[in-house]
Amino acid sequence: MERSSARAARTTNSVSLLISILVRYPEVAGVTYDPATANLKLTFLLARALSARRFKRLRQRLHHSLEVYRRLDRREPPAVELLRTCHRGVGVLEVREDVHSLSREELTLIVELVRAELGNLLAVEPNPSLMEDDLAAQEELIEEMLEDLRESEHGRNLIAFREEGRVLVFNR
């Protein structure tokens, strides 16, 4: 019985993390957590395909920024991975990072860099009802849930995305 309640708590925490990321960062269109690889994937939707030159610039800037941040924090360089695709004229940017080494600050850095580089292309569903206190609460939840995921060995393969103002979470 204890195992099932611990697993349910981990699943609840994983779901809460994905929801909090989508609420806090309106630029993120979807989040996937894969416990087998311990990867968190952020998906950004773009108004059009991302050119190879712009993608290369974003990748270099993101890797460099995360590397400098980690060096200042005396940690190993990040194992962040960027992928770009295009589906029916809509660009998709995916950023994958190991959840064991990802911090909330790095998550914010990733989103801010994508916003700075691709702001005019990002498909963003803003949430004007969120106040500064709400944003701070979401950041605190993200920090707690990331810590919980780092400590747990198993979880469910989850995907969350935004649709018409709602956050939907599914077990994959």
List strands edge to edge, sheet with 81-87.
81-87, 90-98, 39-46, 30-34, 158-163, 166-171
Residue 131 has pLDDT above 70, yes or no: no
- Which of these, 165, 52, 44, 19, lies nearest to 116 by C-alpha position? 44
Q: Of 152 and 43, which is predicted with more confidence?
A: 43
pTM of the model: 0.86
| Residues forming a β-bridge with 42 | 31, 95
State mean pLDDT over 67-85. 88
**Is residue 92 within 8 Å of residue 82, measured between CB atoms?**
no
Which token pair is 16?
A: 């809460």
Per-residue pLDDT of 16-53, as tens digits, reads 889 999 988 999 999 999 888 888 999 999 999 999 99
What does the alpha-carbon distance between residue 110 and residue 16 come to, in Å, rounded to a whole number?
A: 20
**Is residue 45 within 8 Å of residue 121, measured between CB atoms?**
no
User: 90-98 and 166-171: which strand pairing?
Assistant: unpaired
Q: Which amino acid is residue 148, in one-letter code?
A: D
State mean pLDDT over 81-100. 92
Residue 154 has pLDDT above 70, yes or no: no
DSSP state of 28: -
Band (pLDDT 50/70/90 cuts) for residue 2 is very low
* Number of C-beta neighbours around residue 76 at 10 A: 10
In the chain, what is the greatest distance between 2 CA atoms, to the nearest angstrom? 54
What does the alpha-carbon distance between residue 148 and residue 142 come to, in Å, rounded to a whole number?
A: 10
Query: What local confidence, expressed as pLDDT, does residue 62 receive?
Result: 94
Per-residue pLDDT of 140-150, as tens digits, reads 888 888 888 77
